[in-house]
Structure 1
Amino acid sequence: MIFINPKTDYAFKKIFGSSESTDILISFLNALIYEGNPTIEDLEIINPNLPPKVEGLKDTYLDVKAKLSDGTLVIIEMQVLNVQSFGKRVLYNAAKTYASQLRAGEGYRMLKPVIALTITDFEMFPNSANLISRFVYKEVKTNLTYPENDVDLVFVELPKFRKEEQQLETIADKWIYFMKYARSLTSVPETMDSIPEIHKAFEIANQAKLSREEVADLESREQSIYDQQGAIIKAAEEGREEGREEGREAGREEGQREKAIAIARQLLSRLDDETISQTTGLSLEDVRNLRGSNS
């Protein structure tokens, strides 16, 4: 068997956010957020319809969103590219989801908690050994939890997961193993197949059940991810050296900007303006002006 890559945007939503995925998503969230406890018993997937075919990765932020039975909103994102200010984007999306609940004239008591679950294919917190990290509002000195602690940020960093198939113990282990290795597997591991929701996830991910057009589109998306990763790494290496030369006589802040501009120049022929902006931290206007001056 060949399985589609759950780390690509369309495949991730097909597996976890489609109309047939409620039980899969409940198991997935209980495993990663609640340590495998059956805390979530029911949920509603918001906008479970898969989007139309999208070329490449441009403008394809296909978060999975769900509402739990107690009203809590959960937003789930799979992020492959380590773009500039990604942490700010996670916080912004969580805050926007929290604030957008209120309609005109409604009181703050109507606000329900928001959990932002982010799975990254890169190390978000290199100074921490934690595979799963959870951030909430707490008092700095006493560690007192804020009374209305309504926004939780949960991160799962796939590169920190190093267990082999025979070492899988918890359901969280098995879901993370699925996310990280499903694309390279040729059969469903026996230790995972006994869990109905994971079995079903593998069924949805079975490439044999997709049309030729779907397979071609997914392969194009996957290749686009690899191309962008390679372009960003190469541009960063070349841009850092160029930026060091240009910023050697400049101050620290200006030197950093020169590095960002140098990296952006290397990416102009490979990526769209929005992705370059996210990767380098430059504004869209800066990138467009840079593109204009290079044409």
Structure 2
Amino acid sequence: MFNTSKAYVRQLKSGEQYELSQPVYSLNLVNDIFEPNLNNEYYHYYRLVHMEHTDRVIEGLHLVFVELPKFTPHNYSERKMQVLWLRYLTEINEQTREVPEELLANPELKKAVNALEESAFTDAQLAGYEKFWDIISVEKTLYGSAKEAEKKEWQKDAKK
């Protein structure tokens, strides 16, 4: 709760409007059982709700807890995904220089790795990164257009 609140507060600089703040989601993987009365329920989602009028919610802080001991995959595919995500969460950090290939082979994990890399960029690095991909996109478009024009020219010559 403490860290989630800090993340929420850090969004705004002094004097900025509160309306600019975005919700903060805290994902907590717990290697323990803290809701023993909720038998096989391993996923717990908490937010700030009015006690008497539960339809009244204060948006902002969202806390998600996953009790790992209660999670039991039903098949090999689920077990493999569990292991891959746990590896991602435990092996990837600011000292990581090379991501294991088996993590990058999974599209969801590759997307998570890319998002993590982008989140570490400074504003200048992010602008450069986006410019790089814009240039690549333009080059691909120009190349595709040239190939299409070449193909039409070849078809025109073939009909002669």
Larger Rg: 2
User: What TM-score do the two structures reach when normalised by structure 2?
Assistant: 0.49
Q: Which has the higher strand share?
A: 2
Q: Using CA pairs below 8 Å that are at least 6 residues apart, which structure has the higher relative contact order?
A: 1
User: What TM-score do the two structures reach when normalised by structure 1?
Assistant: 0.28
